[in-house]
């Protein structure tokens, strides 16, 4: 896929995902980050992920399930091949409690952005099946 096509597909993915979320009363906001936002020209289909944070208050399991269904449906629609990505974390983070808000603030602060933390995370997650990571079971 050409770089300009990547950029267009990523933008369309984000727009459609965010529009759906804005219509859900349990979801307050959506934030995208990572290479899909910061460096879309370097994003590689099937190798790069899309990092999404969904903010809300006590988001129900049903809304989370529907959000995942939308995410993977849009992945298929735009042929992004996110299922092939060797992600070390869930692709959607739900920040819907005070504890998760604190954890998110720590992550955003960069305190976990170190080689030691990444090595530890890889060691913990390397043996988990992809579906556990992709479906936010951790």
Instruction: In whole angstroms, give the CA distance from residue 127 to residue 31.
Output: 29
* Cα–Cα distance, 120 to 31 (Å, whole number): 26
Q: How many percent of the chain have pLDDT more than 90?
A: 38
Lowest-pLDDT choice from 9-13, 37-41, 86-90, 127-131? 127-131
- The hierarchical CATH code for the domain 3-134 is 3.30.460
Do 59 and 27 meet the contact criterion of CB atoms below 8 Å apart? yes
Q: What is the pLDDT of residue 17?
A: 97
pLDDT in tens, 15-55: 999 999 999 999 999 999 877 778 888 888 888 888 899 99
For residue range 108-132, what is the model confidence (pLDDT) as tens digits? 777 666 677 667 666 666 665 555 5
In the chain, where the domains are located: 3-134
């Amino acid at each position: 896929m050409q770089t300009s096509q990547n950029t267009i597909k990523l933008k369309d993915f984000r727009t459609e995902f965010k529009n759906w979320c804005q219509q859900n009363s349990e979801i307050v906001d959506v934030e995208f980050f990572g290479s899909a936002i910061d460096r879309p020209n370097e994003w590689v289909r099937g190798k790069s992920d899309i990092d999404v944070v969904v903010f809300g208050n006590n988001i129900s399991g049903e809304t989370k399930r529907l959000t995942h269904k939308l995410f993977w449906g849009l992945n298929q629609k735009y042929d992004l091949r996110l299922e092939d990505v060797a992600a070390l974390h869930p692709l959607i983070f739900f920040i819907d409690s005070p504890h998760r808000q604190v954890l998110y603030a720590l992550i955003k602060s960069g305190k976990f952005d170190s080689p030691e933390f990444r090595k530890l995370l890889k060691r913990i997650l390397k043996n988990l099946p992809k579906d556990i990571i992709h479906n936010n079971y951790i």
